[in-house]
Amino acid sequence: MTTQRQLVVVGNGMVGQRLVEAVRQRDPERRWRITVLGEEPRPAYDRVALTSYLTGTTEAELGLVPDGCYDGDSELVLGEAVTRIDRDARVVETSAGRVVPYDALVLATGSRPFVPPVPGADLDGCFVYRTIDDLDAIRDRAGHVASGVVIGGGLLGLEAANALLSLGLSASVVEFAPRLMPAQVDQGGGEVLRRKVEELGLAARLDTATERIAAVDGGLRMSFADGSSLDTGLVVFSAGIRPRDELARAAGLAVGERGGIVVDEACRTSDPSIWAIGECALAGGRVYGLVAPGYEMAEVVADRLLGGDAAFLEADMSTKLKLLGVDVASFGDAHAATADALEVVYADPVGGVYKKLVVTDDASRLLGGVLVGDASAYAALRTMVGQPLTDTPEKLLLAGPSTSDLGDDAQVCSCQNVSAGAIRSAIHDEGCADVASIKACTRAGTVCGSCVPLLKTLLTQSGVEANPALCEHFDVGRAELFDIVRVTGLRTFSEIIARHGRGRGCDICKPAIASILASLGSGHILDGEQAALQDTNDAFLANIQRNGTYSVVPRVPGGELTPEGLIAIGEVARDFGLYSKITGGQRIDLLGARVEQLPAIWKRLVDAGFESGHAYGKALRTVKSCVGSTWCRYGVQDSTSLAIMLELRYRGLRAPHKIKAGVSGCARECAEARSKDVGVIASENGWNLYVGGNGGFRPRHAELFASDLSDAELVRLVDRFLMFYVRTADRLQRTAAWIEALTEEHGDGLAYLHRVLVEDELGVCADLEAAMDRHAGSYTDEWAAVLDDEEKLSRFVSFVNAPEAPDPSIRFVTERGQIRPADGAPVVAGPTLEVVRR
């Protein structure tokens, strides 16, 4: 019988735990007895999802150690740091005096946060962002302050800033580099990312060095190299990592000049009995700060321990994540370091989209790329790196690659190194019929989750019907969940998830259920626990802008505005110092309002006869109109009166996405009705109804649905169309995409809608009309409801301990006679596509 050998692993982080499981998979005969020594008091947990701990995910839900992992001949020791390695005796010693012998020793000690040598960095209120204990400390401090600053604008820095926002703080990021995420995205992508995150309430100070931090009045004052300063309640350092190599140094192992335990392609150190993996290892002259390379190292060492010859040569540094709701991805040679590379760039600053592909100088192979704002093609593009292009770079940028072109060798999941062939084998040979079973079988999609959309596509291409689940907490889609809530009468998220879901919910299902409850008329959106479900704009009944201020858009039905009303809006803009602008939907936008000013602004507008225009909600926005037959010599119908009537009927209607409508008084189409979700164009005999149009990233023209309708017939059909859309569309699905999805399911989406809404094939038309009647009859203005409720009013403050105080970080300059945010870059007028030779 073979004598069992002793494997000791120092560190029970994600990579150390992965090594244990990889060894056990390869070692059914248990040739190795494993002892893991962890410094933290808890077993391995998912640091990639660490921020979710602040939004309800429990410590147990983050846990990565499966039941039964440490039983029999495996042992996990927690709360004991390894203090010494005796290479001659082949033992390690711990802080508790434990002495553990080894035949093979694996160092998985990870890294520590880098805290720049800034005077005051050790003051109370300064934190790092690394462990659950760190987050507990940050959350405790956040309960007593109103703002926070993150030093470092990289991946983890933006995650930390997102955490501060989730704790209800106003948040800023200070980055020494001239752009956010400097290691992953280029200058163009960084600029679009900055715009997007500032629109969501995060202030970014770039190209800024922090000189010192001082304690002032119960808070902290940060002083910068340019002479400016910023007062805040807490500071989080997220300025990079440093490998924890102190054990190796003390034991005489080779380390890099700038840190990191030197390892060869087998991840073996200068001592053949000792290995190093993860963020403590210096492989090929580089320390890898992502989990995927660490997992790959763990697999290599596991293979070597069992007699294999696996090698760690070069890791895939591709990254995709959602930061503050913004998709960001980079892959391959993202910075065009390859000689004679070409960059093909699509930039739409207004739409918040930036895409770049790096290709060889003959445009035959893909080298890398950057995606910001729309990373839907990331998974497929990443698999093509180094491969011949399947289409022109321009078409790949705008339309994305076809996943049917993926060969079996193409890597789908870089975190777990899973190929397209392995996924297809799991589907066809192992019977995997959904994403969850593919995850369980192959581990693809279990770390960062960026490849999950591609897993769904491969399932569909393999003939497996896609799982309609809304998210991991609900097994049904939005339409089914809408019917469940409607039929059961449940009116709180906690009741719905307790009876029909599991867990605590997430940023997918919470806003979706908030929208469903609002669509069903479940009271004011800030009542009770509904307030906690809302997105940022809905939570404050206003659109947050790039510098943390808000815009106020009163409803102006049909664009019709009396002189008195126009004067009232002008006086509000003047008295509160707001920027005023006519919108594309015939309304007036008042920008630059601080959160504590919103109720006072609403009060003035409500007293003047205005109400919320729902510019902040996934709801009806406007019904645009021309002047029609009342004034225009070409008009054949009264478009203004109809537009006002439609807007007043559907105002406040919450939906899966925003809804826009237009009414044109003749075929000249001055209201641009065919670019709207609901478009109405006058004819000599009545009204022609068009549906399913929208602007945005993929503009669509609405299609003719019915002709020569009377006013009553038109309203009846629009009632049915909008309510059927509200009930059956997927989350965040515009009417155009909804009709396209109906086409995939029923052959012709418009014809199907005609059968359902005109011929009443499903027998639901009377119910749809009744539901819209109930909505119209129960409408109340959300602004006015806040003004009448002291509890709701208490939400609208910048600082809970100084309700009247303005946020000092908000600054304006004057331009063309009006304010605009200070330090703002000019907006580029429209998308561009260019090819740059490096």
Q: Which residue numbers belong to the known binding site for siroheme?
A: 670
Residue 487 makes CB contacts below 8 A (sequence gap 6+) with none
- CB–CB of 362/338 below 8 Å? no
Residue 525: CB atoms within 10 Å: 20
Numbered residues of the known binding site for [4Fe-4S] cluster: 626, 632, 666, 670
Numbered residues of the known binding site: 626, 632, 666, 670
Distances in Å between the Cα of 815 and the Cα atoms of 391, 766, 823, 824 are 45, 54, 12, 11
Distances in Å between the Cα of 531 and the Cα atoms of 272, 292, 330, 510, 694 are 59, 37, 35, 11, 29
Residues 202-240 as b/e (b if ≥16 CB within 10 A, e otherwise) read bbbbbebebeebeeeeebbebbeeeeeebebbbbbbbbb
Query: How far is Cα 79 from Cα 498, in angstroms, rounded to an integer?
Result: 35
- Give me the helix-helix angle, 711-728 and 478-488, nearest 10°: 100
Which long-range contacts does 673-679 make (Cβ < 8 Å, 24+ apart)? 673/624, 673/702, 674/701, 674/702, 675/699, 675/701, 675/702, 676/624, 676/702, 677/702, 677/734, 677/735, 677/736, 678/646, 678/702, 678/718, 678/721, 678/722, 678/735
- CB–CB of 82/175 below 8 Å? no
Torsion of CA 635, 639, 641, 644, to 10 degrees: -160
Q: Which residues pair with 359 in a beta bridge?
A: 342, 366
Query: How far is Cα 375 from Cα 170, in angstroms, rounded to an integer?
Result: 27
Query: How far is Cα 243 from Cα 114, in angstroms, rounded to an integer?
Result: 9
Give the torsion sign (CA, 626, 630, 633, 635): positive
Query: How far is Cα 137 from Cα 214, in angstroms, rounded to an integer?
Result: 20
